[in-house]
Amino acid sequence: VSEAIMQSHFAELKEALTRELGIASVTVDVGVAESHSGDWSEVAHEKPSLVLFPRTPAQVAAALQILASFGQPAVVQGGLTGLAGGATPRSGEVALSLVKLNQIEEFDRIGGSITAQAGVTLEQLQTHVESEGWFFPLDLGARGSCQIGGNAATNAGGNRVIRYGTMRDLILGIEVALADGRLLTMLNRVTKNTTGIDLKHLFIGAEGTLGVITRVVLKLAPKPVASNTALCALESFEAATRLIKEMLSAFEVMWSDFMTAAIKSGDFKAPFADIHPVYVLVETLGSSPESDSQALEQVLERALEDEIVSDVVVAQSLDDAHRLWEYREAIGELLSRLKPYAAFDVGIPMGSMDRFVASARESLTGIFPNQQHLFFGHIGDGNLHVLSGPYASSAELHRVEEVVYAAVGEVAGCISAEHGIGVVKKEFLHHSRSEDELDLMRSLKTLLDPKLILNRGRVIDTDAASRASSEK
């Protein structure tokens, strides 16, 4: 009987959604469900029972209202490049994909802002504004697939945070569909606005737990006309902390284990004759091709004289710059090669970074001598990535996570600096947030989504039973 009731409940739900969204936007097709069964994390894939493709913000809101009236949980999906398992469906969930919300709506060429729907990819947006002399500075390896809505939901960082900040710093306005079907349109376009509590910050970085982001207004920067890139070889991380004071845009540190693995993964030519303990990829963005490149060369010459840098390759062309970035961007290939992996994106105070890397490497190689442990990151903002794998069992993966997150807690770092919590880091969140903070997060979730329709069980658990099982 219960099976029959469930089937009729599902048929009614599907019918109501089809009436609202149209037949082409509601699918049970197995192939489509398969391609919406998981993100880039190691969380086990699960086919959603239904995939929804709303085409307008109003349709997103209407779909949520129907889902809420049926008490049907849903997972919000952007470009599925997340590394925390937040967009991977859990059993019985409907997937709500933003892929069809892909319109760029308004381009303010005077004020320098753009309004885009959530499903526009980062690369699509970057290319669009650059063709008109503007620049959207957020940049990350997954640019071709990740969406602006997903970037906002995860408060993405990336390569240029030291100069331009994270997604939170680049969003002027936002539109969100709430779990009960209300559409909150807060498409502010002015930089300064002191009209009460700035609600957009509730949704940026909330990983889809409090609402579905449908549109964003983004702040643009004038397009830099000069870009200079260099790869430096250093004898210590301490030297990198001295070099960073001079750099303006990107500052990507790669320890030698990462560089060796990157060269091997892409069959690249080694950048220097010798192996060095630390490498730093630097990039400056500016307005004058000639004087900017002279300025970078002067800084690097001084760093060589002061023995901060041991060797350096300066890109002489865009192709050269692309080749230097290839070492850092080998991460996509390394993620595929080291599966099943543990991937960390921790935030470490700069003063503790060197000590943290040395002790984490020692602990990890001591416990898991047969795995690779690669250290790299956007270190200018204290964001260290560790990629460790492959692991044979989930028990091993869990052990690695415990070792790294406990060490992060000891240096008062944070367990996620950009990829988010999702389901992968949920049980470790207490290393970075106090019980009072977690309680307030639970209250907000209950206030905005009392039926737990949206991304249930991601980031935090609200009910006692799930909390007990995830804290085990």
Ligand X SMILES: Cc1cc2nc3c(=O)[nH]c(=O)nc-3n(C[C@H](O)[C@H](O)[C@H](O)COP(=O)(O)OP(=O)(O)OC[C@H]3O[C@@H](n4cnc5c(N)ncnc54)[C@H](O)[C@@H]3O)c2cc1C
CA dist., res. 302 & res. 296, Å (int) = 10
CA dist., res. 338 & res. 350, Å (int) = 28
Nearer to ligand X, 292 or 418 (CB): 418
Nearer to ligand X, 308 or 342 (CB): 342
Structural contact between residues 234 and 306, judged by C-beta atoms closer than 8 angstroms: no
Instruction: Determine if 384 is a binding residue for ligand X (CB under 6 A).
Output: no
Provide the minimum distance between the beta carbon of 160 and ligand X in the complex, in angstroms, as a whole number. 10
Instruction: Determine if 80 is a binding residue for ligand X (CB under 6 A).
Output: yes
Structural contact between residues 231 and 251, judged by C-beta atoms closer than 8 angstroms: no
Structural contact between residues 458 and 427, judged by C-beta atoms closer than 8 angstroms: no
- Identify residues 39-58 at the interface with ligand X (CB under 6 A): 39-40
CA dist., res. 376 & res. 386, Å (int) = 7
- Give whole-number Cα distances, 406 to 322, 348, 374, 447, 460, in Å: 37, 13, 18, 32, 19
Nearer to ligand X, 48 or 149 (CB): 149
Give the binding range for ligand X (CB under 6 A) out of 81-89, 124-132, 280-288, 362-370: 81-89
Instruction: Determine if 98 is a binding residue for ligand X (CB under 6 A).
Output: yes
E-strand ranges in 98-140 read 104-108, 113-117, 134-135
User: Per the structure block, which two tokens stand in for 308?
Assistant: 């901060």
Work out which of 38, 57, 73, 86 binds ligand X, going by CB under 6 A. Answer: 86
Instruction: Determine if 455 is a binding residue for ligand X (CB under 6 A).
Output: yes
Give the binding range for ligand X (CB under 6 A) out of 126-134, 145-153, 264-272, 307-315: 145-153
Provide the minimum distance between the beta carbon of 306 and ligand X in the complex, in angstroms, as a whole number. 30
Nearer to ligand X, 418 or 461 (CB): 418
Structural contact between residues 446 and 462, judged by C-beta atoms closer than 8 angstroms: yes
- Give whole-number Cα distances, 221 to 112, 116, 133, 260, in Å: 7, 16, 9, 36
Structural contact between residues 171 and 191, judged by C-beta atoms closer than 8 angstroms: no
Structural contact between residues 156 and 146, judged by C-beta atoms closer than 8 angstroms: yes
Instruction: Determine if 33 is a binding residue for ligand X (CB under 6 A).
Output: no
Nearer to ligand X, 141 or 277 (CB): 141
Work out which of 276, 373, 419, 426 binds ligand X, going by CB under 6 A. Answer: 419
Dihedral class, residue 412 (left if φ above 0, else alpha if ψ from -120 to 50, else beta) = left
Nearer to ligand X, 82 or 413 (CB): 82
Structural contact between residues 470 and 461, judged by C-beta atoms closer than 8 angstroms: yes
- Residue 36: CB atoms within 10 Å: 27
Nearer to ligand X, 86 or 413 (CB): 86
Provide the minimum distance between the beta carbon of 108 and ligand X in the complex, in angstroms, as a whole number. 22
Q: How many residues bind ligand X (CB under 6 A)?
A: 39
Instruction: Determine if 147 is a binding residue for ligand X (CB under 6 A).
Output: yes
Which DSSP category does 97 fall into?
E
Instruction: Determine if 216 is a binding residue for ligand X (CB under 6 A).
Output: no
Instruction: Determine if 149 is a binding residue for ligand X (CB under 6 A).
Output: yes
Q: Mark 263-302 with x for binding to ligand X (rule: CB under 6 A) and - for no binding.
A: ----------------------------------------
Instruction: Determine if 94 is a binding residue for ligand X (CB under 6 A).
Output: no
CA dist., res. 40 & res. 91, Å (int) = 18
Nearer to ligand X, 13 or 60 (CB): 60
Provide the minimum distance between the beta carbon of 79 and ligand X in the complex, in angstroms, as a whole number. 3
CA dist., res. 236 & res. 215, Å (int) = 44
Give the binding range for ligand X (CB under 6 A) out of 50-58, 144-152, 241-249, 316-324: 144-152
Instruction: Determine if 251 is a binding residue for ligand X (CB under 6 A).
Output: no
Work out which of 25, 72, 154, 229 binds ligand X, going by CB under 6 A. Answer: 154
Residue carrying the six token digits 């595929």: 336
- Give whole-number Cα distances, 467 to 209, 419, 455, in Å: 16, 22, 15
Instruction: Determine if 212 is a binding residue for ligand X (CB under 6 A).
Output: yes
Instruction: Determine if 153 is a binding residue for ligand X (CB under 6 A).
Output: yes
Work out which of 33, 50, 63, 142 binds ligand X, going by CB under 6 A. Answer: 142
Q: What H or E segment, with its residue span, contains residue 239? A: helix 237-243
Work out which of 13, 94, 118, 357 binds ligand X, going by CB under 6 A. Answer: 118
Instruction: Determine if 87 is a binding residue for ligand X (CB under 6 A).
Output: yes
Q: Which residues bind ligand X (CB under 6 A)?
A: 39-40, 75-83, 86-87, 98, 118, 140-142, 146-147, 149-151, 153-154, 156-158, 207-208, 212-213, 331-332, 418-419, 422, 455, 458
